[in-house]
A and B are shown apart, each in its own frame.
Chain A
Amino acid sequence: MKQLLAPLREHPVVGAVAIAVALYFVMASMGYASAFSIRSMLVLAALLAVASVGQTLVIIIGGIDLSIPFVIGFANVVAATLTGDGMPFWQVCLIVGTLAILIGAVSGSLSAWLKIHPLIVTLGIGTIVQGLVQLWTGGFPSGSAPAFVSQFVSIGGQIGPFGPIPVIPVPGLIPAVGLLMVAVTLLLAVTPLGRRLYALGGNPTAAPYALISPIAMWTIAFAISAFFAAVAGVLLLGFTGSAYGDVGQPYLFQTIAAVVVGGTSLMGGRGTYVGTVVGAIVLVQIRTILIGQGLDEALIQAAFGAIIIVLVSLYGREPHVRNTI
């Protein structure tokens, strides 16, 4: 068993992919592999994957971001309200995106500069953001997303037809997340920024001697995290149709779970975004199977927690202290 699992520990993404494939066959045998249910699972997984971009980067540098659900809610409500007020959508995106980047930059720089654990800082900043948004809307947000955003994320959506290319029966979100996966992977693998993130996460003491500024890296990573949380918030607005300040709450732990199931170490310095995307797919598959069992929400939650533990114990274990000396 140990030898069987050894290669998984080297390449945890392989483990996550294997589990995703195995779950697919489980679902197929249970009759959940219809085109529609696969499409809906892909959409749900894609939304989670977008929200988890930043969590991946932040965890690679050894941090954690608990402000994601609050930023999702912020973007969701602000975008709906501004769109409802008749502002052009590109202006809405510009405002929401810029504010989100600022929120993330404040969290990241504050954590790195004062060496406060990001868990506390992001929680505090998130609480402030959520309070401000509710203050602004009086707790009752209104408005909705432009139709093309809803079309972009709709489970029944489709792409094309473009001239000779026939209709592709998935919404635009799916190929977009595919491109995002390539872009983030390239960012991490070949750009100086990516190498610096890994270097800082792998050895926070040595990285400054290689002229990597921890404060700059933390600011950038948390800003990216908040930006993609905001993107997820706007996409969720299209998905659910109306604004809801707490729409991001399930994403608090799910983004962390997706990253970890995808094989990224919370100790920092290791991990891939491809893994996170697969992790997101696995989480959505598990939920689908559990819901299909007719369990009620409480027991689904309990089973979900147990399964996360089992999955991570298969290939996400840390070394014993005797092997770190």
Chain B
Amino acid sequence: MSPAASRFLHRFGGMGFSFVLLIVLLAVNVALNPARFAPHAWGTLIGLAAPLIAAALASTPPILGGNGGIDVSVGPAMGFVNAIVVAVLINGAGIDSPFILVPVAILVGAAIGLVNGFLAAVVRIQPIVATLGTYLVLLGLTLAIVPSPTGTVPEWLRALSGQYSILPILAILAIWWGIQRFPYFHQLMATGSDQRAAYTSGVNVTAIRILAYVLGGMFAGLAGLSLSGLIGSADANVGPNFTLIAISAAALGGVSLVGGKGSLIGAMIGAIDVFLLQSALTYFNVSTFVLQVAYGLVLVLAVSFAALQERFIATRGRPS
């Protein structure tokens, strides 16, 4: 294998399988349902996928930070942002300017991320337990704010599930693109790969991890906006469902749950895979139970193939 090819494999191999899956699923979907995938319907289509994609992107930075880093509160955080924005600010206080609501959503998300980061990196509670705690707190608070689905959303927010549905995802990718220009990105990956080596090289492991949770929280805030646009109301029961599926999607896209390996682009491809899979399965109009079995089966098979491929790269495609 040529050095360039093997370097390419080593760098992007982790998400290679999910990329092939993406092409296959896209072809299947377009063949099954051309109208739904026609260019003029892209806005709506992306709007359906956007909350999941954004949730997968939000799950990724804490995982990259390693040492068991994970944020299971992403789903409830989206629900909480949805409740604050739609029920409290729009329908409660009558504020409906995007110039106030978008920053508020991002700030609320960042604050949640800061709490998670503090608990995981400073108090040093195992991240899955710490974020499970915030999961329950956020879910409880959201249910207290909106006991039952309520409220309406202004036109611009509704457009986030239509013609502007790509904006939250672009915003996340733009922030991450900026982050990658800074040393922070490499310090995060180094911390995730081997925190002891990173620490002895002078990396402030604690601060790096906190910031990873804050970034994840900000992305969860944007995901919450996207979700608000899609459901068009405040609903406490929708958000939490995103947590585990988003983490699975990130893993499918080659984000190693051990840390230090993977990318946001990978997580996004994994999430699109999951969305296209659901979309194709729905087309067959089978019972939701068959859908569930097929979905679980494909998830397990997909991560298995991805792992087998990873193993192949580890033995054959080592950069020379």
A interface list, Cβ under 8 A from B: 64, 66, 110, 114-117, 119-121, 123-128, 130-132, 134-135, 139, 253, 256-257, 260, 265-267, 296-306, 308-309, 312-313, 316-322, 324-325
> Does B188 interact with chain A (Cβ within 8 Å)?
no
Per-residue contact bits, chain B 285-320, to A (CB 8 Å; 1 contact, 0 not)? 001011111111101100110011001000000000
Report B-chain residues with C-beta under 8 Å of the C-beta of A123: 244, 248, 299
Query: Complex: how many Å from CA A28 to CA B242?
Result: 41
Distance in angstroms from B63 CB to nearest chain A CB is: 10
Query: Complex: how many Å from CA A312 to CA B133?
Result: 10
Residues of B in contact with A, size category: 35 or more
List, sorted by A's number, 6 A–B pairs whose CB atoms are closer than 8 Å.
A117-B258, A123-B299, A132-B289, A139-B289, A302-B144, A305-B135
Report A-chain residues with C-beta under 8 Å of the C-beta of B289: 131-132, 134-135, 139
Query: Complex: how many Å from CA A309 to CA B116?
Result: 11
A317's contact among B125, B136, B143, by CB below 8 Å, is which? Answer: B125
Report B-chain residues with C-beta under 8 Å of the C-beta of A298: 139-144, 147
Report A-chain residues with C-beta under 8 Å of the C-beta of B135: 253, 305
Query: Complex: how many Å from CA A66 to CA B133?
Result: 17
Interface of B (DSSP majority class)? helix
> Does B124 interact with chain A (Cβ within 8 Å)?
yes
Distance in angstroms from B132 CB to nearest chain A CB is: 6
Report A-chain residues with C-beta under 8 Å of the C-beta of B258: 117
Supposing A267-B68, A321-B195, A325-B199 touch, asked if A308 and B296 sit within 8 A by C-beta, the answer is no
Contact B296–A321 (Cβ < 8 Å): no
> Does B31 interact with chain A (Cβ within 8 Å)?
no
> Does B123 interact with chain A (Cβ within 8 Å)?
yes
Query: Complex: how many Å from CA A323 to CA B133?
Result: 26
Report A-chain residues with C-beta under 8 Å of the C-beta of B291: 131
B264-294 residues with Cβ-Cβ distance < 8 A to A are 287, 289-294
Query: Complex: how many Å from CA A259 to CA B235?
Result: 32
From A120, A127, A134, name the one whose CB has the most chain B CB atoms within 10 angstroms. A120
Contact B290–A135 (Cβ < 8 Å): yes
Contact B297–A128 (Cβ < 8 Å): yes
Q: Considering only CB atoms, which chain A residue lies closest to B248 in the complex?
A: A120
The 5 closest A-B pairs by CB, nearest first: A302-B140, A305-B136, A127-B296, A131-B292, A298-B143
Report B-chain residues with C-beta under 8 Å of the C-beta of A306: 133, 136-137
Contact A301–B125 (Cβ < 8 Å): no
Q: Considering only CB atoms, which chain A residue lies closest to B125 in the complex?
A: A312
Supposing A253-B132, A316-B125 touch, asked if A299 and B290 sit within 8 A by C-beta, the answer is no
Query: Complex: how many Å from CA A274 to CA B199?
Result: 36
Per-residue contact bits, chain B 91-112, to A (CB 8 Å; 1 contact, 0 not)? 0000000000000000000000
Query: Complex: how many Å from CA A271 to CA B148?
Result: 41
Q: Considering only CB atoms, which chain A residue lies closest to B297 in the complex?
A: A128
Report B-chain residues with C-beta under 8 Å of the C-beta of A139: 289
Contact B124–A256 (Cβ < 8 Å): no
Query: Complex: how many Å from CA A190 to CA B258?
Result: 31
Report B-chain residues with C-beta under 8 Å of the C-beta of A115: 307, 311
Query: Complex: how many Å from CA A124 to CA B251?
Result: 12
B240-267 residues with Cβ-Cβ distance < 8 A to A are 244, 247-248, 251, 256-258
